[in-house]
Every structure is written in structure tokens, then in C-alpha cells.
Amino acid sequence: MICIINGPNLNLLGKRQPEIYGSRSFESFLEELRREFHDTEIEYFQSNHEGEIIDKLHKLGYETPECSGIVMNPGAFAHYSYAIADAVASINTPVVEVHISNIHARDEFRHKSVTAPYCKGMLTGFGLQGYRLAIISLNQTTSDSNGNS
């Protein structure tokens, strides 16, 4: 199982700043991902609240052994939430950070992610396709760790 965690304001995808984030809702994209990765259970969680994201990371990292990886778009929390960074650092489940827009081409405060150093990798600027690439990466990691090639 792969879990996607979306942070603040990502519940507004398709409505909020379509020139930056596109005009597609995440729910419609999630349906597409589930069809494409039909052999992978995909759980989805979104919250505008830092503590709920931390609780979800803890649950997935310690109480959900079937979770083989997490795709996380922490939204603006990426730039200042040391609490979420600590939560990611505290679990063994691999996390791939995703940002829909290229954070390095935006406001200077967005250029640094405090959560990324604790992640397996980061994808930024690929639009919603970043989620797809993260799932491919996590599925490959799981396959490699199980001795498959």
C-alpha cells in the first residue's frame, strides 16, 4: 500500500490558482492513479492541520505495516514545519516529497524545504505527474527490497 498525504490548501486543487496548480481536482487524478496502479492499494489523506499530518505519518510509520511508502505534498508546511520534518525523520517508511509547482521558481521563502532532507527524494515542478513518478519510485524501491528485479 502507498499512502498519499496532501497538506494545506491542496483540497482546493482545480479551483485555487489554476495558473500554478492546474484546473484538475485531485480526486479525479486519484481515480486515474488507482486505475493505472491497479496492483497497488493507494490510500489518500488530506488535511489543512499540521498535527493531523503528523498523526497520520506516525500511524503509517508505526501502526500500518502494509504501508510500503508515502507520497507527501506538505504544501506550505514544507517550508517551515520542523514538526512534520521530525515526524518524517522518526519513521522508517520511505517518503517521497512532491510539489506540483517548481518551488525554486517561486517566492524565495518557498525555495527551501525543511522536510525534504528526511525524504527518499523530492519531485518538484512536474504538476500532478509528480505523484505518478513518486509512486513508480516507491514501487521500485519495494520491489528492489523484496529481491525482485
62 included as an active-site residue: no
Specify whether the backbone of 14 is left (phi greater than 0), alpha (psi in -120 to 50) or beta. Answer: left
Cβ-in-10-Å burial (0-12, 13-18, 19+) of 78 comes to buried
Taking the alpha carbons of 34, 36, 26, 113 in that order, is the dihedral positive or negative? Answer: positive
Half-sphere exposure (Cβ direction) of 12: Cα atoms closer than 13 Å: 10
Q: One of 79, 99, 104, 131 is an active-site residue; which one?
A: 99
Q: Of 7, 5, 6, 4, whose CA–CA distance to 77 is shortest? A: 7
The one catalytic residue among 21, 38, 44, 104:
21
Q: Is 58 a catalytic residue?
A: no
Active-site annotation, residues: 21, 99
